[in-house]
Structure 1
Amino acid sequence: MLVKGAAALATGALAPTLAATQAAADSYTKDIPMPVGGGRPLPANRKFVSKAVEAEIERVSVKISDPKLRTMFVGCYPNTLDTTVEMGEVDGKPDAFVITGDIPCLWLRDSSAQVMPYLHLAKSDKALTQLFRGLIARQSRCILIDPYANAFMKDPTAKTNLGWAQKDQTAMKPGVAERKWEIDSLCYPTRLAFRYWRTTGDKTPFDGLWADAARTIIRTFREQQRKDSAGPYSFQRTSNRPTETMQLDGWGAPSRSVGLIHCGFRPSDDSCTYPFFIPANLFAMTTLREMAYVAEEARGDDALAADARLLADELATALGQWGTMTLPDGRRVWAYEVDGFGNAMFMDDANVPSLLGLAFLDCVKPDDALWQTTAAAVWSDANPYFFKGKAMEGIGGPHVGLGQVWPMSLIVRALSTDDPALLRSLLRTLRDTDANTGFIHEAVDCNDPTKFTRPWFAWANGLFGELIVKLVDTHPEILAAPL
Structure 2
Amino acid sequence: MTTKNVPKSFQKMIDRVAEVFPEHEKLQEMFQQCFLNTYATTLTETKEGLPFVITGDIPAMWLRDSTSQIRPYLMVAEDDPEMAAVIAGLVKQQMRFVQLDPYANAFNQEANGKGFQADKTEMSPHVWERKYEIDSLCYPIQLGYLLWQSTGSLAHFDTDFRHGVAAILDVWKTEQRHETESPYSFEREDVRQSDTLNRDGKGTEVTYTGMTWSGFRPSDDACLYGYLVPSNMFAVVALGYLEEINAVCWNDANLATEIATLKTEMEQGIQDFAVQEHPYYGEMYAYEVDGTGRKNFMDDANVPSLLAAPYLGFGDFTDPKYLATRQFILSRENPFYVEGSQLMGIGSPHTPDHYVWPIALSVQGMTATNLSEKLAILEMLTTTDGGTGFMHEGVNASNHNEYTREWFAWSNAMFSEFVLSLCGIYVKGSPLANNTK
Corresponding residue for 2:266? 315
Q: Does 1:57 align with 2:14?
A: yes
1:263-303 deviation line (CA, Å, top 9, x unaligned): 10000000000111000011111111111211221333343
Corresponding residue for 1:294? 245
Structure 2: 5+ residue runs without aligned partners? 427-437
Tell me which of the two structures has the higher relative contact order, counting C-alpha pairs closer than 8 angstroms and 6 or more residues apart. Answer: 1
Map 1:106-125; keep pairs closer than 5 Å. Answer: 106-125=61-80
TM-score (norm 2): 0.94
Q: Does 1:80 align with 2:38?
A: yes
Q: Does 1:70 align with 2:28?
A: yes
* Contact 1:239-1:245 within 8 A present in 2 as well: no
1:213 shift after superposition:
0.3
Q: Does 1:242 align with 2:216?
A: no
* Contact 1:51-1:125 within 8 A present in 2 as well: no
Alpha-carbon distance in 1 for matches of 2:252, 2:285: 34
SS of residue in 1 equivalent to 2:45: strand
Alpha-carbon distance in 2 for matches of 1:449, 1:441: 10
1:237 shift after superposition:
0.5
1:423 shift after superposition:
1.3
1:304 shift after superposition:
2.4
Q: Does 1:472 align with 2:423?
A: yes
Structure 1: 5+ residue runs without aligned partners? 1-32, 34-40, 476-483
1:305 aligned to 240, 252, 256, which one? 256
SS of residue in 2 equivalent to 1:365: coil
Alpha-carbon distance in 1 for matches of 2:190, 2:14: 43
Corresponding residue for 1:12? none
Corresponding residue for 2:217? 266
Corresponding residue for 1:146? 101
SS of residue in 1 equivalent to 2:276: strand
1:323-370 deviation line (CA, Å, top 9, x unaligned): 111223261110000000011110010001111111111111101110
SS of residue in 2 equivalent to 1:359: helix
1:51 shift after superposition:
3.2
Corresponding residue for 2:163? 212
Map 1:91-102; keep pairs closer than 5 Å. Answer: 95-102=50-57
Alpha-carbon distance in 2 for matches of 1:209, 1:409: 33
* Contact 1:396-1:404 within 8 A present in 2 as well: yes
Q: Give the alignment's Cα RMSD to 1 decimal.
A: 1.6
Alpha-carbon distance in 2 for matches of 1:59, 1:323: 41
Q: Residues 198, 304 of structure 1: CA spacing in aligned structure 2 closer, same or farther, 3 A cutoff?
A: farther
SS of residue in 1 equivalent to 2:20: coil
1:175 shift after superposition:
0.8
1:352 aligned to 278, 283, 303, which one? 303
Corresponding residue for 1:22? none
1:450 shift after superposition:
0.6
Report the identity percentage.
Answer: 37
Q: Does 1:158 align with 2:116?
A: no
1:444 aligned to 395, 399, 410, which one? 395
Alpha-carbon distance in 2 for matches of 1:312, 1:431: 40
SS of residue in 2 equivalent to 1:97: strand
1:7-46 deviation line (CA, Å, top 9, x unaligned): xxxxxxxxxxxxxxxxxxxxxxxxxx0xxxxxxx543xx6
Q: What residue identity is the alignment partner of 1:352?
A: V
SS of residue in 2 equivalent to 1:224: helix
* Contact 2:178-2:213 within 8 A present in 1 as well: no
Alpha-carbon distance in 2 for matches of 1:121, 1:291: 24
1:203 shift after superposition:
1.7
Alpha-carbon distance in 1 for matches of 2:96, 2:425: 37
Alpha-carbon distance in 2 for matches of 1:105, 1:355: 27
How many residue pairs get aligned? The number is: 425
* Contact 1:100-1:111 within 8 A present in 2 as well: yes
Q: What residue identity is the alignment partner of 2:212?
A: I
Corresponding residue for 1:24? none
After TM superposition, the structure 1 stretch with the greater mean CA deviation from structure 2, 388-397 or 122-131, is 122-131
Alpha-carbon distance in 2 for matches of 1:264, 1:451: 31
1:170 aligned to 89, 109, 121, which one? 121
TM-score (norm 1): 0.85
SS of residue in 2 equivalent to 1:473: coil
SS of residue in 2 equivalent to 1:225: helix
1:81-138 deviation line (CA, Å, top 9, x unaligned): 1111113573xxx511111111111100000111111112213212112111110100
1:474 shift after superposition:
7.0
Q: What residue identity is the alignment partner of 1:158?
A: N
SS of residue in 2 equivalent to 1:144: helix
Q: What residue identity is the alignment partner of 2:71?
A: M
After TM superposition, the structure 1 stretch with the greater mean CA deviation from structure 2, 221-230 or 351-360, is 221-230
Alpha-carbon distance in 2 for matches of 1:309, 1:73: 40
SS of residue in 2 equivalent to 1:171: coil
